[in-house]
Amino acid sequence: MASTLSSGAVRVATVEHLMSALSGLGVDNVLVGVNAAEIPIMDGSAASFVYLIHSAGIAEQDQPKRFVEVTAPIEVRDGEKYARLEPYFGFRLSFSIDFQHPAIDQTGQKVELDFAQTSFLDEIARARTFGFMRDVDHLRAKGLAQGGSLRNAIVMDDRRILNKGGLRQTNEFAMHKALDAIGDLYLLGRPLLAHYSAYKSGHALNNQLLRALSQQTNAWRERVFDRLSDAPAAWARQWSWQ
């Protein structure tokens, strides 16, 4: 239910919201210090991390940004669930969810994002994580979500949202899954030039997709741009936000 980085016995869980913020801001060289086994949940979105990254400051370096350009389709499946990458000169996401829950069914369950037009800060960063009361005991038994509450997650029982303030945006459920996917994909270590599409995908399937991509070296190539004018509009727009 989260993405975890590990090296030997060292593990840091729930890195996806921080990674999503780094991706959305175009940060690809960063040192993050942690003193616990899980990244703080903050407000359940990427917005707090965006604020902290801006506060720390973003510096342009004297090396070109290195992209992974997908050159052939690649897909992984788990039953009806799938995650797919296809060639695209930019960064585009198409994500659909289906939780068959009354509160979620009433909202937008599909998002289409193209970073040539989409602002990570304005449209994606504030979408909060969500979960169900029935999962709380399971998470805490694994040592996760120790600070989880209605202040940093959308929480539901079997039929309704329990948060008094409701949703921040009408498609917040689907948008947060897209936010998660952006963070998961950035675990590749470099920004993607690709169209990512998924149905009911989660952290595990996104991880499988990256592993499959890494193993199929004929499905991607490294790409750099010497001039901003040669880069996809998505990344030229992103650099202007900084």
Residue for token pair 């690809």: 28
Q: What is the largest CA-CA distance in the chain?
A: 53
Q: At what angle do helices 16-25 and 233-241 cross, to 10 degrees?
A: 100
Query: β-strand 81-86 against 192-199: which pairing, if any?
Result: antiparallel
* Amino acid (one-letter) located at 203: H
Q: State the catalytic residue, choosing from 17, 101, 195, 203.
A: 203
203 belongs to the catalytic site: yes
User: Token pair of 93, please?
Assistant: 């996401």
Phi and psi at residue 172, in whole multiples of 5°? -60, -35
Q: Dihedral through CA 24, CA 28, CA 30, CA 33, nearest 10?
A: 60
As annotated, the active-site residues are 203
